[in-house]
Amino acid sequence: MKSFSALNSSRPGGVKDLLVLALPMIVSTSCDGVMTFTDRLFLARVGSEQMNAAMGGGVTMQMLTFFFMGLAGYSTALVAQYFGARELQNTSKAAFQAILITLFAWPVILLLKPLAVWFFYYMHLPVAQIGFQVEYLNILAWGGLFGLSRYTLGCYFTGIGKTKVVMVATLVAMVTNVVLDYILIFGKMGVEPMGVRGAAFATVSGGFLAMMVLLFAFLSRTNQKTFSVLQAFRFDAIIMKKLIHYGTPAGLEMFLNFLAFFIMTAIFQSEGVVSSTATTIMFNWDMVSFIPLLGIEIAVTSLVGRYMGAEQPDVAHRSALSGVKTGIFYSMVILVLFVFIPEQLVRVFHPTIWSADFEKAVPIAVTMVQIASLYVLAEAVMVALVGALRGAGDTHFTMIASVCAHWSFVPLIYVSLKVFHWSLPLSWFLLVVFFLLFAAVLVLRFRSGKWKKIRVIHS
């Protein structure tokens, strides 16, 4: 791997080139993080059970949608490659194939929802939590088309490099979500307090408005003229085949990884209210540290896809290294926070009324946040390299490596908690060690250079 000092930020694929795409995407993904964080923070004031239910229900909804998001989401790389090859109408055709996948996905998600609800009861989640969790999931699932459509349209604009449009849409979603959270959860402005139902309605409303912003931009006269959008509204077997071939591994990876995370979360939460609260708090801060890095990953995917489409693999390589450098700079800040002020971070989620369960959860959550500091820098490297490999079309390898890693976590957590009855922090520490091994595998794959030989649109 080339030295960071060799990177010239003003060169194609350098830090400056990356940040043009990455900064709006970092803002966008951070806004998504703020929405989720606000849901759980406000619900924590109502009670730990509702906060834990929002996490469990939210993770479940992601698990149900992530196969389709990964499949349709590969349109980012496909659009970027067509854009780099100057095949502009094909960018719109690729986007429309992704929209077709989204329209197919929504009824499938609704059909799978009862299976997820059955699993809540099967895992013996705390009785006070499970009703709220089912209610939260039901609302998110029925409004799921808005979130899926928003994501798919965002992939198109990221692929053609117009990430500011995605940022504006996400800012609209965030403001809507936060304001409605406050009104609906606590019952302000004459509205009855709705608790977890209010959080779910706020999330769906934000997704709807963001989708409308992106749809308006997609159908705008300028975009239609440049990319022949209306002429692209038809099924294209060749492009759909490419999207399915390269997107299916990405979709399976996201689905299987989140299924593993869903099961791990259920295992943690099945240990009781104290363990559930500690785990929820830790994962909330883990999400805050990780979600902005997703903006870097998306930008790297788009940039690498563009340069691979233009048949410039060396510039694509430089783009990936720029992503690593940018991610590490951000993660150093998170590292300092996790090491030096973990208790202050944990106590942000204190309930309005004093709770013995919360106080018991605090030292456990503090230790878990400190342990999380061990891998924040590895996360920065991982997301940049995953973005590069996906952008180049190396989706089959990333799927196999990532799925194997995440499904090794499930038996690890189950055995440590349920068989050996080890503590929550020790179990979490073992999981972090396994995560570091996964990051090392990605580094080796990137260094091999095999991804540079893949041809997606010219195959």
Torsion-angle region of 234 (φ positive above 0: left; ψ -120 to 50: alpha; else: beta): beta
Binned at pLDDT 50, 70 and 90, residue 10 comes out as: low
Cβ count near 447 (within 10 Å): 10
Q: Which of 285, 369, 347, 368 is nearest to 44 (CA)?
A: 347
CA dihedral (34, 286, 274, 63) in degrees, to 10, reads: 80
Give the pLDDT confidence score for residue 459 in this predicted structure: 54
Identify the helix (H) or strand (E) that includes residue 14: none
Tokens standing for residue 365: 């959550």
Distance CA 188, CA 55 (A): 23
pLDDT digits (tens, 9 = 90+) for 370-403: 999 888 888 889 989 998 998 888 888 988 988 8
Say whether pLDDT at 213 is over 90: yes
pLDDT at 7: 42
The pTM of this model reads 0.73
The mean pLDDT value of the chain amounts to: 88
Distance CA 225, CA 223 (A): 5
Q: Mean of the pLDDT values across residues 48-74?
A: 85
Give the separation between CA 447 and CA 254, rounded to whole angstroms.
Answer: 24
The 10s digit of each residue's pLDDT in 222-281 is 999 989 888 889 999 999 999 998 888 888 888 888 788 878 888 887 888 888 889 888
Residue 417 pLDDT exceeds 60? yes
- Interval 113-121 mean pLDDT: 86
**Domain boundaries in the chain?**
6-453
